[in-house]
């Protein structure tokens, strides 16, 4: 894979001086067109061997273009805060918005390659990490991002010479560390591991561009020209409408579905409810003070038809919690900042540290519910979202987070009664909007979307809990009981 990057590519000084000025001008024009259009972000990865001029290349791009429209991200070993969240959390937080260029000096490839090269993980672990990375990049591309990946390569003898030269010069000695020499001693291992990682993740939409780093002029001119060509090609081409080849969701011929099969007649009287509420709230409070609780984080996601009782259920849960432990995230229409990012971005950034609880009042499932039904995203977008959501939840669970998902269900008649009650009660009027009434008219479409969502995202690691919420007392206790049991199993 690296053979053509060991041929001694060089650019004479006169060629460099002739080609760089027009290249810089063209890059600036493309950058300003990107910032003006705000159609897509550019994600540029600069990776490769130690001493290959990665940082110098990043600095050159910042010099050649307007740094106000560039986010440069240099990543080292994960911090304590980052280790307490899914591995990809730190990268999601650093993604550039539409109209910006994000340059990563160090990326989601660095840690898996290092772990395998030092024998701290298995080949199978590397393969799983790379498969996860490929899915992540494919999701970014589907969301519109332009992803460019550069691998800066040096042959073994050239790298040794480069490191010795830097170390010999007092002005550059600081750039060579003991870690660089440790990596060099494992050059052959790093090469083998890197080739495997690149082979697994060099896709049609995001191929690796291997650049020989022997001559800095050749290296930087190559990167600049590739970036310009890719930027102009995307900017000058109208966005293609997304398409979907997936089959239509199957509807049971007898019209029976998982929601219709729920027994909504289950009830609790007020006295039994109040006794159970005290019991389970006390039990939940004690569980959050368990010595093992700080080894986990908790993510609670609540979905349901309008007026199904999500807010009331959440309040009964938080009454049992120390206010310092939890944060509620009410999910409404995305803000301008959130629309400039992939749809999962606003949920990734709110994932909690260990010992904390994140409560989502509506969640990432909006993509396959309201956005699907109301036409706020394309069919191709919501169809691919099921696998992207499953991947997201898999990473949450892998990071020792306890994930619970609740769907609160009520009948059409009970929803109407609650709507009318809210409308007639002055201090509850804020709970009912014209949009709620419009959504009610689309009940069959929402029901079909919910059933497909449950079928495709209720997994062995993140199952849905269906809550019969026709009687609020019954629904609240079922949610509290489910949370307590799950925490007891985990702790």
CATH for the stretch 270-490:
3.40.50.300
Q: Using the 8-state DSSP alphabet, how is residue 258 labeled? A: T
> Which pLDDT tens digit goes with each residue over 242-300?
665 555 556 665 678 899 999 999 999 999 999 999 999 999 999 999 999 999 999 99
Residues of the chain with CATH 3.40.50.300: 3-235, 270-490
**Total residue length of the chain:** 491
3-class secondary-structure state, position 302: strand
- Residue 118 neighbours by CB under 8 Å, 6+ apart: 186
Range with the lowest mean pLDDT among 104-113, 216-225, 329-338, 435-444?
435-444
Whole-Å CA distances, 208 to 2, 234, 423:
11, 18, 58
Taking alpha carbons only, the member of 44, 54, 37, 35 closest to residue 145 is: 44
Q: What is the pLDDT of residues 164-196, one digit of tens each?
A: 988 898 888 888 888 889 999 999 999 999 999
Helix 187-201 to helix 178-185 angle, to the nearest 10 degrees? 80
User: If we measure between CA atoms, which residue out of 164, 195, 137 comes closest to residue 5?
Assistant: 195
> How much is the pLDDT for 353?
96
Report the mean per-residue pLDDT for the chain: 93
Q: How large is the average pLDDT for residues 112-128? A: 95
- What is the greatest pairwise CA distance in the chain? 89
Statement: 3-235 belongs to CATH 1.20.140.10: no
pLDDT of residue 241: 64
What are the angstrom distances between the C-alpha of 404 and each of 93, 224, 306, 375, 397? 23, 47, 20, 28, 10
**Within a 10 A sphere around the Cβ of 224, how many other Cβ atoms?**
21
* Alpha-helix residue ranges (DSSP H) falling in 349-433: 370-374, 379-398, 412-424
């Amino acid at each position: 894979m690296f053979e053509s990057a060991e041929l001694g590519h060089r650019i004479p000084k006169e060629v460099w001086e002739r080609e760089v000025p027009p290249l810089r001008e063209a890059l600036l024009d493309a950058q300003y067109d990107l910032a003006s259009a705000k159609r897509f972000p550019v994600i540029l990865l600069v990776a490769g061997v130690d001493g290959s001029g990665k940082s110098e290349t990043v600095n050159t791009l910042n010099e050649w273009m307007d740094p106000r429209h560039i986010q440069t991200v240099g990543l080292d070993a994960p911090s304590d805060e980052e280790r307490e969240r899914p591995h990809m959390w730190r990268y999601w937080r650093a993604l550039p918005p539409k109209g910006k260029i994000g340059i990563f000096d160090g990326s989601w490839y660095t840690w898996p390659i290092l772990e395998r090269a030092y024998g701290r993980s298995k080949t199978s672990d590397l393969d799983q990490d790379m498969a996860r990375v490929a899915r992540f990049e494919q999701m970014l591309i589907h969301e519109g991002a332009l992803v460019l990946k550069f691998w800066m390569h040096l042959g073994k003898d050239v790298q040794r010479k480069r490191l010795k030269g830097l170390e010999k010069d007092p002005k550059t000695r600081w750039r060579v560390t003991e870690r660089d020499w440790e990596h060099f001693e494992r050059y052959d291992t790093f090469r083998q591991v890197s080739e495997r990682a690149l082979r697994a993740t060099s896709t049609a939409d995001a191929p690796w561009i291997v650049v020989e780093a022997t001559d800095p002029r050749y290296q930087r001119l190559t990167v600049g020209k590739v970036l310009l060509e890719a930027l102009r090609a995307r900017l000058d081409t109208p966005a293609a409408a997304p398409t979907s080849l997936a089959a239509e969701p199957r509807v049971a011929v007898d019209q029976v579905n998982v929601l219709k099969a729920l027994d909504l007649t289950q009830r609790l009287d007020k006295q039994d409810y109040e006794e159970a509420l005290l019991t389970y709230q006390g039990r939940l409070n004690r569980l959050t003070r368990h010595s093992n609780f700080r080894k986990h984080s908790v993510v609670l996601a609540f979905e349901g038809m309008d007026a199904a009782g999500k807010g009331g259920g959440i309040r009964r849960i938080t009454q049992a919690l120390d206010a310092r432990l939890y944060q509620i995230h009410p999910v409404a229409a995305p803000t301008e900042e959130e629309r400039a990012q992939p749809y999962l971005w606003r949920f990734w950034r709110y994932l909690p540290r260990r010992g904390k609880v994140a409560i989502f009042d509506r969640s990432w499932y909006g993509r396959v519910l309201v956005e699907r039904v109301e036409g706020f995203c394309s069919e191709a977008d919501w169809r691919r979202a099921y696998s992207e959501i499953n991947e997201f939840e898999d990473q949450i669970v892998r990071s020792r987070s306890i994930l619970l998902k609740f769907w609160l269900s009520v009948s059409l008649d009970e929803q109407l009664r609650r709507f009318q009650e809210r409308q007639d009660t002055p201090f509850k009027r804020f709970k009912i909007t014209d949009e709620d009434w419009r959504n009610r008219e689309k009940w069959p479409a929402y029901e079909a979307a919910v059933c497909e969502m449950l079928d495709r995202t209720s997994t062995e690691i993140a199952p849905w809990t269906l809550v019969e919420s026709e009687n609020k007392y019954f629904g609240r206790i079922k949610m509290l009981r489910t949370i307590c049991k799950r925490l007891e199993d985990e702790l």
